[in-house]
Amino acid sequence: MPDYEKMREKVIDGDQEAVKELTQEAIDEDTEPQEIISEGLISGMNVVGERFKAGDMFVPEVLMSAKAMKAGMELVNPLLTAADREESVTVVLATVEGDLHDIGKNLVGMMLESGGMEVIDLGVDLPADEIVDAVRENNADVLGMSALLTTTMMEMQNVIEVLEEEGLKDDVEVLVGGAPVTKEFADDIGADGWAPDAASAKDLVQEMTS
């Protein structure tokens, strides 16, 4: 039986090497990959999410934990079956055109991955048509957009308008966030959801897609 308590602890500590070792041990014991993910890796990251929301952990620590979780996931991912993958929620994530800030978006992506979702991170400074193409091509369940500048947040509305023009708006849940973005703004531009931080974004996406 893998030592999940220790695995969770090492994810929380952001200890990549220890997480890799414990994950490999669990794999060598022929443990179900899904069990390793849910009982050890994601379960540890869930604690991190809660502590971050409560203000008991800070961005650099969360990034370390997310890296440790990812290091374990990289060993487990090749063992997942096609059926395991099909069940997964697909999220396309981008920072909108004109905006180069990506630290918050990356945190959101890591949290979503820790929730077992498939994240297609398009990067920063993404024009609306490229975002919409990626939503279509990946048959995304959720589009997550981030903006950190008051001058670029309006671009989110533009993306939603392009989604509407292309007849895709009803097929995808649109989630927006970033320091200047408020719930009121999200409602005004027709987004389906807004989250103040990465851990809340994961909770909301889980709600939206369940």
- Taking CB under 6 A as the criterion, which residues in 151-190 touch ligand B1M? 175-180
Supply φ then ψ for residue 144, to 5 degrees.
Answer: -110, 125
**Total number of residues binding ligand B1M (CB under 6 A)?**
27
Q: Which two tokens stand for residue 42?
A: 């994601």
148 is a site residue for ligand B1M (CB under 6 A): yes
- Taking CB under 6 A as the criterion, which residues in 116-145 touch ligand B1M? 144-145
The β-bridge partners of 142 are 91, 173
75 is a site residue for ligand B1M (CB under 6 A): no
40-64 burial, b at 16+ Cβ within 10 Å, e below that, comes to bbbbbbbebbebbbeeebeeebbeb
E strand residue ranges, the chain:
90-95, 118-121, 142-146, 173-177, 193-194
Task: Give the amino acid at 127.
Answer: P
Among 47, 149, 154, 168, binds ligand B1M (CB under 6 A): 149
103 is a site residue for ligand B1M (CB under 6 A): yes
115 is a site residue for ligand B1M (CB under 6 A): no
99 is a site residue for ligand B1M (CB under 6 A): yes
Binding site for ligand B1M (CB under 6 A): 59, 98-105, 107-108, 144-146, 148-150, 175-180, 195, 197-198, 201
